[in-house]
Amino acid sequence: MPCYKGVCSFCLVSVFVLPCRHVGPEEHHPDRISLPIMWPSFDLLRPALALIAAISCLPASEVTARPPNVLFISIDDLNDWIEPLGGHPQAKTPHLNRLAKEGVNFSRNYCPSPGCNPSRSAVMTGYHPTTSGMYSNYQDWRKAMPDAVTLGEYFRNHGYFSAGAGKIFHYTQVAPECWDDYYPSIEQPMPDFHYPKPGTTVSMPGFDGMYGDFDWAPIPLTDEETGDGKCVDWVSKQLARTHDKPFFLACGIYRPHLPWYVPRSYFDLYPLESVQLPKILKDDADDLGDRAHDIIARGGGYHEHVIEAGQWREAVQGYLASVTFADAMLGRLLDALEKSPHADNTIVVVWSDHGWQLGEKQHWRKFALWENVARCVMMIKVPPGTTALPEGSRAGGDCQRVTSLMDIYPTLVDLCSLPEKKDLDGNSLVPLLRDPAHPWDHPAITTYDHSEYSVRTERWRYIRYIDDSEELYDHTSDPEEWHNLAGMEQHAATKRRLAAMIPKSPAPLRSDTLIELQPHHIPPYQSKKDYQNRKKAKSTEP
């Protein structure tokens, strides 16, 4: 007869149901706890006590099973410059290392879009931009998807407490129905951040078209005094308290999003004279088409201005410092969970919305389709005991399969045994959490604005732009994407195969979803005709 929590079921039945007598350990299991109690028989209690006996015969996992909690952590603008991904040899990220050792690190993971708003709204709704028509930072995602049920809302609808802090959706484009509680508030999700010189930059001289937060400098604050620190503290307090429902708890860590203003101690970890610049190839852009050169020059040509200002090394220092600061924020959340009463029943998901470039291909920021921008962080740790994955996720699993942020929504629905949501665009990662080498044949599709696509498989990246120019990179021999093979006839069949994976009927980018633009904003192309018209108009400018 099976035993429950070290107590033999025979003992339970004997003590409560059998006629009065001493039941000693020598009579059944000598390695189990016995209950040598003299107990009278109570015939009237026999039906209820028989039920207790039946329950005691169930496996412990079935008796104690309860819906798992979710700790959902977003890190803004984080590329592969972390130790588990090896994107920069000097990056210091001990807490991401720690999580990678405890869960599964999806090392070939890609974003649905290289912009915060379309990527985050895709993650939170489960709809790829090509499904929703939500392609650009300069759209209102809720106008594009008025009926979409967000991830937090879906959990709320199925009995969860949903709360969060910081940037999960794009700034003030909030989703009140997603949350029961939020810090600083449901309507104002972003805390205040410190600016050393409000209204101007500290390190980077401004230029025409520059994003005003394109700057970096140490600040005289403690971790706890920063905006991210306050969000982490709020979420940590939520973890520490008891809950009468399972929870979906989100925390948006804003750094390393610009500006790279973090406490000085993080800059001190990267002495300026020893900072290594990204690996680049001279004339890397020579084999690229016109549209790729437009993207490189986007926003006024950041790279040439950074070089002119003598700030390349300083910028890399600022980004690395901000990455390590974000890692420290993650560490505080992991510590808070570990100390909480929920540590053994909480799924941890860490993701970044897209990558970033700091001079590779003479390009800065996001808004491109190359590896450094499309690749992003995703790690998942599942404790033992969930119905979908009783054994828990594979500790220290390094998954080399191509995955997407689109897979988060269906994976959490699966892991938490919520009703299947059949209209989602991603795939449940449960097979890969069980076995990171499990067969998997799902390419990652990334789209920049409308009609520009990247297709990533384990070997290849294929890019097709709105002007029909193409790029093809073989990652077995060219991980830096320095050699565009698209013009070589021997790769024509590969191009055709990859191009066939691009959605055939993508949703349009509707004009009524566009927001009012700020000076540094560049309106998205809505069609090939729109691109051609603007290109022609620009060519006739004096």
Q: Is 509:450 a contact under the CB 8 Å cutoff?
A: yes
Q: Residue 51: how many CB atoms within 10 A of its CB?
A: 10
**At 404, which amino acid appears?**
S
Q: Is 71:81 a contact under the CB 8 Å cutoff?
A: no
pLDDT the model gives residue 44 = 42
- CB neighbours of 379 closer than 8 A, spacing ≥ 6? 84, 96, 99, 100, 103, 104, 105, 106, 348, 349, 350, 351
Counting residues of the chain whose pLDDT is more than 70, the rounded percentage is 88
Residue 235 scores a pLDDT above 50: yes
Q: Residue 199: how many CB atoms within 10 A of its CB?
A: 6
Residue range 417-426: average pLDDT?
Answer: 97
How far is the C-alpha of 203 from the C-alpha of 309, rounded, in Å?
9
Residue 223 scores a pLDDT above 90: yes
Q: Is 153:178 a contact under the CB 8 Å cutoff?
A: yes
Residue 292 scores a pLDDT above 80: yes
Q: At what angle do helices 312-339 and 298-308 cross, to 10 degrees?
A: 110
Residue 1 scores a pLDDT above 60: no
How far is the C-alpha of 380 from the C-alpha of 432, rounded, in Å?
10
How far is the C-alpha of 46 from the C-alpha of 42, rounded, in Å?
7
**DSSP one-letter code for 248:** E
pLDDT the model gives residue 540 = 82
Q: Where are the alpha helices (DSSP H) in 369-483?
A: 371-374, 408-415, 430-434
Nearest partner of 454 among 493, 491, 501, 486, judged by Cα: 501
Per the DSSP assignment, residues forming a β-bridge with 537 are none
Residue 353 scores a pLDDT above 90: yes
How far is the C-alpha of 378 from the C-alpha of 110, rounded, in Å?
9
Residue 32 scores a pLDDT above 80: no
Residue 41 scores a pLDDT above 80: no
Q: Is 207:305 a contact under the CB 8 Å cutoff?
A: yes
Tokens of 503: 């959605």
Residue range 218-240: average pLDDT?
Answer: 98
Residue range 309-330: average pLDDT?
Answer: 98
Tell which wins on pLDDT, 124 or 523.
124
pLDDT the model gives residue 520 = 82
pLDDT the model gives residue 538 = 83
Q: Is 174:187 a contact under the CB 8 Å cutoff?
A: yes
Count Cβ atoms within 10 A of the Cβ of residue 131 and give its class: 0-12 exposed, 13-18 middle, 19 or more buried: buried
Residue 64 scores a pLDDT above 60: no
How far is the C-alpha of 397 from the C-alpha of 407, rounded, in Å?
17
How far is the C-alpha of 507 from the C-alpha of 509, rounded, in Å?
7
pLDDT the model gives residue 250 = 98
Task: Name which of 46-60, 96-110, 157-171, 477-491 the model is least confident about.
Answer: 46-60
Per the DSSP assignment, residues forming a β-bridge with 366 are none
Catalytic residue positions, numbered = 116, 170
Compute the half-sphere exposure of residue 371: CA atoms within 13 Å on the CB side of its CA: 26
Residue 65 scores a pLDDT above 70: no
Residue range 85-90: average pLDDT?
Answer: 98
Q: How is 67-126 classified by DSSP, letter by letter?
A: PPEEEEEEETT--S-STTTTSSTT---HHHHHHHHHSEEEEEEE-S-SSHHHHHHHHHH-
**At 154, which amino acid appears?**
Y
How far is the C-alpha of 257 from the C-alpha of 355, rounded, in Å?
10
pLDDT in tens, 255-267: 999 999 999 999 9
Tokens of 458: 């384990």
Give Cα separations from 208 to 36, 73, 199, 462, 541 (angstroms).
85, 35, 15, 32, 17
Compute the half-sphere exposure of residue 420: CA atoms within 13 Å on the CB side of its CA: 7
Kindly report the average pLDDT of the chain as a whole number. Answer: 90
Residue 56 scores a pLDDT above 80: no
Please give the angle made by the CA atoms of 105, 366 and 208, to the nearest 5 degrees. 160
Pairing mode, if any, of strands 397-404 and 357-358?
Answer: unpaired
User: Looking at 322-363, which runs of residues are DSSP E strands?
Assistant: 346-352, 357-358
pLDDT in tens, 388-416: 999 999 999 999 999 999 999 999 999 99
What confidence category does residue 522 fall into, taking pLDDT thresholds of 50, 70 and 90?
Answer: confident
Helix or strand or coil: residue 514? strand
Terminal CA-CA length for the chain: 89
pLDDT in tens, 241-250: 999 999 999 9
